[in-house]
Amino acid sequence: MYAQMIKSEATSDDPEKLAAFQARIDAGEKIEPKDWMPEGYRKTLIRQIGQHAHSEIVGQLPEGNWITRAPSLERKAILLAKVQDEAGHGLYLYCAAETLGVSRDEMTEMLLDGRMKYSSIFAYPTLTWADMGAVGWLVDGAAIMNQVPLQRTSFGPYARAMIRICKEESFHQRQGFDIMMKMCSGTPAQKQMAQDALNRFWFPALMMFGPSDAESTHSAQSMAWKIKMNSNDELRQKFVDQTVPQAEYLGLTVPDDTLAWNEEKGGYDFAEPDWDEFFEVLKGNGPCSVDRIATRKKAWDDGQWVREGLMAHAAKKRAAKVAAE
Ligand code: BYC
């Protein structure tokens, strides 16, 4: 079905319909699944929402890694709840994408064979307990920065999913900062673990916002359609401006010698991440890329009998209903 949709995109959309559609977007109306929409709009949404859903699901892996090793029962329960929330976010987002005519099976297959991406941040390992703090503080912090504006995105099901997701992400960010506060007020070795986690996650967190505006292929069209509400660089700047004072509060040093407050622009000047590394991660060459996809593939294959069982049960129920009529 998705392949057919891509094919039909080649037939150009009616200019009058396109103009009327753009007028609805410009007027701030929400687009709903049964409304007419340009094929490019549908395809961009499937790409972005699907990538977002996959990120939530793959994002469970680096944190799931620490559930059995959390330092206390309380921390274990909190981490477990956070990882479960992420499964929920993935499911709302898959449902939102399904309203556009793609199935969850198709999206999963595209993730597993490399046609769809997941966020670059999850190709990095979580080496110590402090990484649970850094992931919550920085990764969920970056996710919120990106996702709060998406509550106003033009596609109704996506915007509504984002409202609930953002509430839960705020709790996630606070729990991450709480771990960092605890580590930073602990022993010198614990504080050093927190610093080390910040050192390793700072630049990968900056990469989460995507390539620089000059390199971003989709931003202009996605912003015109209000699928994206801000450019990648705008959100990255806001994230740095919000996060640097938090690092200072923790007594940690952001691993960037060039970081300096720029009075004129009212924000920090900061170093760009290594974009070569970013594009390598996107090609599937991140430190944990192979492992993440292998883990997802195993889970998908292991769950096949459950999916088949549910389908067989549904077919049996349908047949019984027809026979009774
Ligand atoms: N990682 O033209 P551009 C989370 C790709 S985690 C991988 O700027 P776009 C969570 C991009 O797909 C966050 N790929 O693209 C938190 C495109 O390639 P394709 C998940 C990336 O779409 C804690 C190419 O680079 N959030 O939620 O306009 C725990 C050119 O880029 C990345 C979302 O997905 C990246 N970092 O903008 C658990 C938010 N950046 O597709 C989970 C919704 C770029 O043409 N998504 N690429 O092959 C967005 O807002 C946008 O899709 C992006 C990229 C800002 C990410």
Q: Which of 119, 102, 106 is nearest to 52 (CA)?
A: 119
Ligand 1 within 6 A of 54 CB?
Answer: no
First vs last C-alpha separation in the chain: 32
Confidence of residue 9 (pLDDT cuts 50, 70, 90): very low
| 94 and 51 Cβ atoms separated by less than 8 Å | no
- State pLDDT tens for residues 293-322: 999 999 999 999 999 999 999 999 999 999
What is the percent of the chain with per-residue pLDDT over 90, rounded to a whole number? 94
CB 13 within 8 Å of CB 39: yes
Q: Is the Cβ atom of 60 under 6 angstroms away from ligand 1?
A: no
The pLDDT of residue 12: 65
Residue identifier of the C-alpha nearest atom 41 of ligand 1: 47
pLDDT of 137-173, one tens digit each? 999 999 999 999 999 999 999 999 999 999 999 999 9
Which atom of ligand 1 has the smallest separation from the CA of 228?
50
Q: What is the rounded average pLDDT of the residues 79-98? A: 97
Ligand 1 midpoint to CA 211 (Å): 9
Is any atom of ligand 1 closer than 6 Å to the C-beta of 232?
yes
Q: Is the CB of 210 under 6 A from ligand 1?
A: yes
Mean per-residue pLDDT, 12-35 = 93
Q: How confident is the model at residue 8 (pLDDT cuts 50, 70, 90)?
A: very low
51 lines ligand 1 (CB under 6 A): yes
pLDDT of residue 112: 97
Q: State if residue 48 touches ligand 1 by the CB under 6 angstroms criterion.
A: yes
Our answer on whether the CB atom of 136 is closer than 6 Å to any ligand 1 atom is no
CA of 51 to the centre of ligand 1 (A): 7
pLDDT at 5 over 50: no
Whether residue 201 has pLDDT greater than 60: yes
- The pLDDT assigned to 13 comes to 80
**Nearest protein CA to atom 40 of ligand 1, as residue:** 210
pTM tops 0.85, yes or no: yes
What is the SS3 assignment for the chain? CHHHHHHHHCCCCCHHHHHHHHHHHHCCCCECCCCCCCHHHHHHHHHHHHHHHHHHHHCHHHHHCCHHHCCCHHHHHHHHHHHHHHHHHHHHHHHHHHCCCCCHHHHHHHHHCCCCCCCHHHHCCCCCCHHHHHHHHHHHHHHHHHHHHHCCCCEHHHHHHHHHHHHHHHHHHHHHHHHHHHHHCCCHHHHHHHHHHHHHHHHHHHHCCCCCCCCCCCHHHHHHCCCCCCCHHHHHHHHHHHHHHHHHHHCCCCCCCCCEEECCCCEEECCCCCHHHHHHHHHHHCCCHHHHHHHHHHHHHHCHHHHHHHHHHHHHHHHHHHHHC
**Averaged pLDDT score across all residues of the chain:** 95
Pocket test for ligand 1, best of 43, 49, 55 (most atoms within 8 A of CB): 55
With cut-offs at 50, 70 and 90, classify the pLDDT of residue 108. very high
Q: What is the rounded average pLDDT of the residues 105-120?
A: 97
Judged against a pLDDT cut of 50, whether residue 6 lies above it is answered with no
What is the per-residue pLDDT across 237-267, written as a single tens digit (0 to 9) for each? 999 999 999 999 999 999 999 999 999 999 9
Cα of 210 to ligand 1 centre, how many Å?
A: 6
